[in-house]
């Protein structure tokens, strides 16, 4: 039995089993829980790294749950796709690896961050469930399986956002997020029911081979786009994002960021690999572009005036998601057209994917630094902070790295991905690039404000005995910082080895279907 | 046309009732009930899609001899999963409502607005 | 805060509910075990078994229930059920040379059943996983009932423990 063949299923089974074993392990002692959490998170990252390595060397990996083959062959030779499969291609594997890195960082950070609160065994159990749900959403190849993992990760995140349960704002944020999330999930379920009723298949690759641009397919696409845009936090439906990201503990927010990107992964899956040119209309790409521009500008303008650090970063999340939606919308516009694709389409999609992985890394690092500020200063309000750079040198250096990455300053990876987005978006219409540049400038302005207020300046008397945060939290932050530095120092290697294959796997609808179906239905 | 598609019209009406309730109601418990109605409508829609005229239950050795017409079993499996998920989220929603009442003292969603701006 | 307790029902109602509760458990177990053939299965039978606790709570009142209630039993049910479920799934990994997860490794064709093993479920792993899910759902739903009941009645809430879980705002 070759264990390497079963890696995709293990990547889901290990966190799931660990989630339910955690209360038992934690009953032994708190130290046992710490060791268990660290080991299982590291194991999950290793498994997903193994999947990424196999995909980059051997092509798309398909894992069928429950039988050697994904279909039932009738005696007449006709094959019907019936089983649940996990389909991992270059795009999925890359985002899954970055998500598992952020889960590892959050888990290690959370060892010391929530140490003095009660109910920690359930916190760790829900954390593993959220990890399993996020990885499942990214790696699945079956539509209903996606819905189940969407709900698993949503329910786990409702509990984790309300972790500080004696704080009224946390419970309110969790309830608001629950309403938006349930609405989105029910829209997804109705869309899946439409697909099943009209086409009779629930397998993503099989659906991509039979989809036609008729009315039902367009209704399905609209429902799915609205629902997944709600989960990503794009402009009209973004109100839950600053609240939920601010009120959750910082180690949880890292994983919430990864979960919203998992919804964006599935959104791209639907638009590029499943519908592709069968979309039949240019309204959908332009809707994505308009939503993206509105999110970019609206998010960052609301962020500049905030007082609270994590709420400010939550609004920046809205704006960064806008960048990705605009990039993918531009890629969709160029989809049927070979010259446009070579000109700016593939660059747009590659820029969107690169921005996605950069965003998970630097936004995770920003939230972890904000959590460190919260723990050291006792408050999230910028008016009460000041002069902390001397007391917390490591945290301020890591914050500087992350803030430079998000603003798109040249040596860092944010610059490369934003450059790819700018040059591809300019080819569609110059005003889109103007909006993106203005948002970038405002992002830089707000992070200069945060850095100067929180870290620079004269020391305040109430912070006389503040000291650096515990080493476990620094270790968690360093995981993400090392990943950002690796992506920043080797940009051409990253783009050629990781991002370009992912972009080509995403836009190539025929190969996605053929990898499973073998070219025939 | 309406009598043949009656289940779909009922689904549409129920789903819209749930959706409008979730968006327009001001009492927390009524919002929870509206989301439950929406989930039940979606579950009903999935089951109705599996129906075939004159079909029997999809268990092979419980069907009478010589019968080849049975309703589809896949929507039934999908609906079971969806019902379990709806139960879990309803339980969590009610727990959060209890905690919100204990913190804010009111069930009116217009008063629960400490996170603003 | 003064904790008001739920008052028990009358003697007739209590006796009838006590007897009926165990029939309900037997019916729930029937629905779980026959899940692969008749309508029902793990989740439905588990819910029926979990309403046993709700019936006892309403009939006997909260004081009497709190004396014999031990929520560790339900936690054990929950974890045991889940480990059995994932264990059956992972056992498919090593079964055949090309086994995958959640392989149906215990299935026997229906015609061969009467001669080979009359007591073996013909649907194989599905029936075993049904039982695991039934145990797990019983434990899980009972825990939900107990927790919500305690939260609403404010039992188990220590007076001076309120207000500690608010984040790092308090130093």
Query: Of C110, C147, C151, which has the smallest distance from its Cβ to B61's Cβ?
Result: C110
CB nearest A6 (choices: C78, C79, C101): C101
User: Which residues of B fall within a CB distance of 8 Å from C43?
Assistant: 80, 83-84
Mean pLDDT, all residues of chain B:
89
- Report whether pLDDT(C156) > 90: no
The minimal CB distance from A189 to the residues B42, B74, B97 is found for: B42
The secondary structure of residue B70, as a DSSP letter, is B
Average confidence (pLDDT) over B15-34: 94
E strand or H helix at A73: strand A71-73
Q: Nearest to residue B32, comparing CAs of B116, B113, B96?
A: B96
Share of chain B above pLDDT 90, in %: 55
8 Å CB contact of C110 and B95: no
- Whether residue C108 lies inside any domain: the answer is yes
Q: Do the domain assignments include residue A222?
A: no
- Contact criterion met (CB < 8 Å) for A166 and C166: yes
C115 pLDDT higher than 60? no
Chain C neighbors of A25, CB-CB under 8 A: none
pLDDT greater at residue B75 or residue C107? B75
Would you call C13 an interface residue with chain B, using a CB distance cutoff of 8 Å? no
Q: How far is C84 from chain A (nearest CA, A)?
A: 11
Q: For residues A316 and A399, what is the distance between their CA atoms, to the nearest angstrom?
A: 15
Contact A117 C83 (CB under 8 A): no
Task: Establish if C131 belongs to a structural domain.
Answer: yes
Cβ atoms of A142 and A400 within 8 Å: the answer is no
pLDDT at A235 over 60: yes
Location of structure tokens 């790819």: A420
Give pLDDT, residue A515: 78
- A181-185, C51-55, C63-67, C76-80: least confidently modelled range: C63-67
How long is chain B? 117
Within a domain: C100: yes
Q: How far apart are CA C46 and CA C29, in angstroms?
A: 8
Q: CB–CB of A166 and C165 under 8 A?
A: yes
Q: What is the mean pLDDT of chain A?
A: 89
B88 touches chain A (CB under 8 A): yes
Dump pLDDT digits (tens) for A379-408.
888 888 888 888 889 999 999 999 999 998
Q: What are the Cα distances from residue A230, in Å, to A190, A238, A326?
A: 15, 7, 16
- pLDDT band of residue A260 (cuts 50, 70, 90) is very high
Helix (H) or strand (E) holding A149: helix A143-161
Residue A428: its pLDDT value, please? 87
Q: Is the pLDDT of residue A520 over 50?
A: no
A38 is a domain residue? no
The answer, yes or no, to whether residue B29 has pLDDT greater than 60, is: yes
Three-state DSSP class for A343? helix
Q: Is residue C84 part of a domain?
A: yes
SS3 of residue A79 by DSSP = strand
Lowest mean pLDDT among A172-181, A185-194, A229-238, B65-74: B65-74
A11: nearest CA in chain C? Answer: C101
Output the six-digit token pair for C66: 């709190």
Residue A167: closest CA among chain B residues belongs to which residue? B103
Backbone φ and ψ for C117, nearest 5 degrees, come out as -140, 95
Residues of A within 8 A of B97 (CB-CB) are 175
Answer whether residue C107 is part of any domain: yes
Measure CB to CB from residue A117 to each of C86, C103, C165 and give the nearest one: C165
**C12 to A297, B50, C65: CA distances (angstroms):** 69, 46, 18
Number of domains in chain C: 1
- Give the C-alpha separation, A477 to A375, whole Å: 14
B49 to chain A, closest Cα gap in Å: 6
Q: Distance between CA A364 and CA A406 in Å, rounded?
A: 11
Nearest chain B Cα to C137, which residue?
B84
Min Cα–Cα distance to chain C from B90, Å: 11
The C-alpha of B67 sits at a distance from chain A's nearest C-alpha, in angstroms, of: 19
A135 pLDDT tier (thresholds 50, 70, 90): very high
Cα–Cα distance between A521 and A513 in angstroms, integer?
10
Beta strands in A84-212 (DSSP E): 85-88
**Count of pairs with CB atoms under 8 A, one residue in A, one in B:** 93
Instruction: Say whether C89 and A374 touch across the interface (CB within 8 A).
Output: no
pLDDT at A421: 92
ipTM: 0.95
pTM comes to 0.93
Residue A368: band (very low, low, confident or very high) from pLDDT cuts 50, 70, 90? very high
Q: Are C133 and C81 in contact (CB under 8 A)?
A: yes
Domain count of the fold of chain A: 1
Cα A105 to its chain centre, rounded Å, is 14
> Does residue A313 sit within a domain?
yes
Q: Is residue C86 part of a domain?
A: yes
User: Has residue A183 been placed in a domain?
Assistant: no
- Cα separations (Å) of A272 from A40, A67, A345, A494? 34, 29, 12, 22
Interchain pair C151, B61: CB under 8 A: no
Hey, is A81 helix, strand or coil? strand
Query: pLDDT, tens digit, for every residue of A67-82?
Result: 666 666 665 656 677 7
Span C40-46, average pLDDT: 89
Q: Which C residues 97-116 touch B at CB under 8 Å?
A: 110
Asked if A308 reaches chain B (Cβ–Cβ under 8 Å), the answer is no
Residue C73, both tokens:
């039993």
Interface test with B, best of A185, A239, A302, A304 (most B CBs within 10 A): A185
Q: Domain range for residue C67?
A: 11-155
* β-sheet bridge partners, residue A400: none
Selecting from A159, A196, A243 the residue whose C-beta is nearest the C-beta of B115 gives: A243
Interface contact A171-B22, CB threshold 8 A: no
Task: Give me the DSSP letters along A397-427.
Answer: HHHHHHHHHHHT-TTSHHHHHHHHHHHHHHT
**Residues A292, A325 contacting (CB under 8 angstroms):** yes
Q: How confident is the model at residue C27 (pLDDT cuts 50, 70, 90)?
A: very high
Contact, A484 vs A402, CB < 8 A? yes
Q: Does C161 touch chain B (CB under 8 A)?
A: no
> What confidence tier does C95 reach under pLDDT thresholds 50, 70, 90?
low
**A188 within some domain:** no
pLDDT of residue A467: 81
Q: So what's the pLDDT on residue A521? A: 43
Does the pLDDT of residue B9 top 80, yes or no? yes
Is A164–C79 a contact, with Cβ atoms under 8 angstroms apart?
no
Interchain CB contact of C154 with A (< 8 Å): no
Residues of C in contact with B90 (CB under 8 A): none
Q: How far is C87 from chain A (nearest CA, A)?
A: 9
- pLDDT of A70 reads 64
pLDDT tens digit string along A273-331? 888 887 877 888 999 999 999 999 999 999 999 889 999 999 999 999 999 999 999 99
Q: What is the pLDDT of residue C1?
A: 47
CB spacing of B91 vs C148 below 8 angstroms: yes
Q: How far is CA A110 from CA A24, A36, A39, A47, in A?
A: 19, 13, 14, 21
Mean pLDDT, residues C23-40 taken together: 88
Nearest to A171 among B38, B82, B103 (CB): B103
The CATH number of B6-104, from 1.20.1250.20, 1.10.287.3510, 3.20.20.100, 3.40.1010.20, is 1.10.287.3510
Nearest alpha-carbon partner for A202 in A211, A212, A210, A192? A192
In 3D, which of A447, A443, A451, A446 has the Cα closest to residue A296? A443
Residue A490 above 70 pLDDT? yes
Chain B: nearest CA to A206, how far in angstroms? 16
DSSP conformation class of A270: I
| Cα diameter, chain C | 73
What pLDDT shows up at residue A185? Answer: 95
Question: Which pLDDT band holds residue A95 (cuts at 50, 70, 90)?
Answer: very high
Contact: A17, C166; criterion CB under 8 Å = no
Contacts across the A-C interface (CB distance below 8 Å) = 71
Domain range for residue A455?
A: 282-489
Percent share of chain B, pLDDT over 70: 97
Q: Quick check: B42 and A182 CB within 8 A?
A: no
Of C37, C148, C151, Cβ closest to residue B59: C37
Chain-chain contact of C93 with A65 (C-beta, under 8 angstroms): no
The mean per-residue pLDDT over the stretch A44-57 comes to: 93
Interface partners of chain C (CB pairs < 8 Å, 3 or more) are A, B
Q: A65 pLDDT exceeds 90?
A: no
| Tens of pLDDT, residues A411-447 | 898 999 999 999 999 988 899 999 999 999 999 999 9
- Minimal Cα distance from C103: which residue of A? A66
| pLDDT band per the 50, 70, 90 thresholds, residue A158 | very high
Query: Which residue in chain B is spatially nearest to C36 when comparing CA positions?
Result: B59
Percentage of chain A modeled with pLDDT above 90: 57
Q: Which positions 28-87 of B are in contact with A (Cβ < 8 Å)?
A: 28, 31, 35, 38-39, 42, 45-46, 49, 74-75, 78, 81-82, 85
Average pLDDT of C114-142?
79
Chain B residues in contact with A179 (beta carbon < 8 A): 22, 31, 35
pLDDT of residue A484: 93
- A165 inside 8 A of chain B by CB: yes
Highest-confidence segment of A177-191, A232-246, A464-478, C102-116: A177-191
């Amino acid at each position: 039995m070759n264990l390497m063949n079963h890696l995709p299923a293990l990547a889901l089974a290990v966190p799931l089993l660990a989630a339910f074993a955690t209360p038992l392990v934690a009953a032994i002692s708190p130290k046992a829980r710490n060791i268990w959490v660290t080991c299982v998170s590291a194991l999950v990252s290793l498994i997903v790294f193994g999947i990424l390595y196999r995909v980059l060397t051997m092509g798309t990996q398909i894992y069928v749950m429950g039988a050697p083959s994904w279909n039932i062959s009738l005696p007449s030779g006709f094959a019907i796709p019936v089983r649940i499969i996990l389909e991992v291609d270059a795009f999925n594997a890359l985002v899954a690896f970055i998500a598992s890195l952020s889960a590892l960082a959050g888990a290690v950070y959370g060892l010391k961050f929530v140490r003095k609160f009660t109910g920690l065994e359930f916190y760790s159990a829900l954390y593993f469930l959220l990890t399993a749900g996020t990885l499942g959403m990214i790696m699945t190849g079956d539509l209903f399986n996606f819905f189940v993992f969407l709900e698993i990760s949503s329910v786990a995140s409702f509990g984790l956002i309300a972790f500080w349960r004696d704080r009224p704002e946390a419970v309110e944020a969790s309830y608001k997020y629950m309403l938006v999330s349930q609405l989105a999930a029910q829209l997804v379920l109705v869309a899946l029911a439409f697909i099943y009723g009209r086409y009779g298949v629930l397998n993503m690759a099989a659906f991509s081979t039979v989809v036609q641009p008729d009315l039902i397919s367009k209704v399905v696409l609209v429902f799915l786009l609205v629902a997944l845009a709600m989960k990503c936090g794009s402009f009209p439906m973004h109100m839950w994002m600053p609240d939920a990201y601010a009120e959750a503990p910082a180690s949880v927010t890292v994983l919430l960021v990864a979960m919203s990107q998992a919804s964006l992964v599935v959104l791209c899956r639907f638009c590029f690999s499943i519908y592709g040119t069968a979309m039949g209309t240019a309204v959908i790409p332009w809707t994505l572009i308009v939503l993206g521009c509105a999110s970019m500008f609206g998010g960052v303008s609301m962020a500049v005036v905030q007082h609270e650090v994590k709420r400010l970063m939550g609004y920046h999340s809205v704006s960064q998601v806008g960048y990705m939606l605009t990039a993918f919308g531009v890629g969709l516009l160029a989809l049927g057209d070979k010259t446009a694709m070579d000109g700016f389409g593939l660059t747009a999609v590659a820029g969107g994917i690169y921005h996605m992985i950069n965003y998970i890394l630097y936004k995770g690092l920003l939230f972890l630094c904000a959590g460190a500020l919260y723990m050291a200063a006792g408050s999230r309000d910028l008016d009460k902070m000041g002069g902390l750079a001397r007391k917390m040198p490591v945290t301020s250096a890591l914050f500087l790295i992350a803030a430079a990455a998000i603003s798109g300053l040249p040596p860092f990876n944010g610059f490369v991905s934003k450059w790819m987005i700018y040059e591809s978006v300019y080819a569609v219409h110059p005003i889109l690039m103007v909006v993106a540049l203005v948002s970038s400038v405002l992002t830089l302005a707000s992070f200069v404000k945060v850095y100067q207020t929180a870290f620079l300046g004269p020391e305040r008397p109430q912070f006389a005995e503040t000291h650096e945060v515990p080493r476990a939290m620094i270790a968690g932050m360093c995981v993400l910082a090392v990943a950002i530095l690796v992506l920043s120092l080797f940009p051409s290697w990253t783009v050629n080895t990781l991002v370009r294959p992912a972009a080509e796997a995403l836009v190539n609808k025929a190969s996605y279907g053929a990898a499973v179906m073998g070219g025939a239905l | 046309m309406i009598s043949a598609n009656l289940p779909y019209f009922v689904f549409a009406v129920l789903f819209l009732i749930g959706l409008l309730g979730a968006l327009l109601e001001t009492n927390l418990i009524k919002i929870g009930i509206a989301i439950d109605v929406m989930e039940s409508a979606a579950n009903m829609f999935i089951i109705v899609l599996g129906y075939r005229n004159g079909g029997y239950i999809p268990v092979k050795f419980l069907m009478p001899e010589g019968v080849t017409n049975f309703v589809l079993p896949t929507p039934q499996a999908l609906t079971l999963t969806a019902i379990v998920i709806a139960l879990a989220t309803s339980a969590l929603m009610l727990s959060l409502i209890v905690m919100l009442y204990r913190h804010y003292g009111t069930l009116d969603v217009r008063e629960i607005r400490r996170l603003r701006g | 805060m003064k904790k008001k307790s739920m008052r028990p029902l009358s003697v007739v109602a209590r006796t009838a509910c006590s007897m009926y509760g165990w029939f309900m458990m037997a019916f729930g177990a029937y629905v779980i075990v026959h899940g692969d053939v008749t309508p029902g299965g793990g989740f439905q039978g588990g819910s029926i078994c979990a309403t046993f606790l709700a019936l006892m709570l309403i009939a006997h009142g909260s004081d009497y229930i709190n004396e014999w209630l031990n929520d560790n039993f339900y936690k054990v049910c929950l974890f045991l059920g889940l480990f059995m479920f994932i264990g059956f799934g992972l056992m498919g990994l090593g079964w055949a040379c090309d086994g995958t997860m959640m392989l149906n490794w215990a299935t026997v064709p229906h015609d061969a059943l009467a001669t080979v093993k009359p007591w073996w479920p013909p649907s194989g792993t599905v029936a075993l996983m049904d039982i695991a899910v039934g145990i797990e759902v019983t434990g899980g739903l009972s825990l939900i009932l107990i927790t919500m009941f305690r939260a609403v009645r404010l039992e188990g809430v220590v007076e001076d423990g309120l207000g500690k879980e608010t984040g790092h705002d308090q130093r």
